[in-house]
Amino acid sequence: MNLCIDQGNSRTKVALFREDGRIAKHFIYKHFASAEVEQLFQLYPIEDSIISSVVNIEPAVVNALSKHSRHFVLFDHNTPLPIQNNYGTPATLGQDRLAAAVGANAIYPKENVLIIDAGSAITYDFVSEDNSFVGGNIAPGIKMRFTILHRMTKKLPLVEAEENELLPLFGRNTRDAIAAGVIRGIIFEVKGYMRDLQEQIPHYKTIITGGNAPFILHGMRDELRFERHLVLMGLNQILLYNSKQTV
């Protein structure tokens, strides 16, 4: 099995991939340290591993992964990739964005793909049919927009929307006005990106991932492909690519 680790600011997502590329096990940790690494290697037949992190990785975690793995990849901007990275400042590109791009390219090889990651921020990235990461944009996420409206005004409350609620076109109370304004605004934003991209590139696929993807899918389910574990899928592809290079 391949062990893929996506370490974020508040939680760490982990997946074990079979040889056929399917996820065998998936875990989410609030705290991920070397003890968790040791436990995973004791419980499962792991051979290769990769870790991507937006925070400083504990040296003990790296040591444990390196010690137990046949091939270990500490993913950063210098890691060889199965796609071309044409970002102007590769050292500043979020590893999760790049991994998601690799995952999308594996799903739709040699096709144009728009990747939307709806997390704390919403990112819009594009991979071209020649397997190149072209670039992308970053926008505030759902919770961020609710929080900004609340903090930067004197009377607007802090609102939380529910995934499957039917939002009105126009709210008839302040809570619904904020919820509909934020969620519908993001859906219109997504549709705008897709419309403008289609004017330049008529044929492309769209994949959405991230914890807040259901809010967007509720408004345009038939237009997007949802891949919950896209970043982890991309990390697995990067691990496979680098393992082959060392054989």
Longest CA–CA span in the chain (Å) reads 63
| Cβ–Cβ < 8 Å for 28, 14 | yes
Query: Which among 116, 122, 93 has a CA at the least distance from the CA of 104?
Result: 116
Strands in the chain per DSSP E: 2-7, 12-17, 23-29, 48-53, 71-74, 84-85, 113-118, 121-127, 132-140, 205-209, 225-226
Report residue 152 as tokens. 């930067």
Report residue 170 as tokens. 């126009």
Half-sphere exposure of 66 (CA within 13 A, CB side): 8
- Give the distance, in angstroms, between the CA of residue 147 and the centroid of all CA atoms in the same chain: 22
| Cβ–Cβ < 8 Å for 174, 192 | no
Report residue 62 as tokens. 């790296």
Distance CA 122, CA 119 (A): 6
- Is residue 96 among the annotated active site residues? yes
Please identify which of the residues 6, 20, 76, 96 carries the catalytic annotation: 96
Which positions are annotated as active-site residues? 96
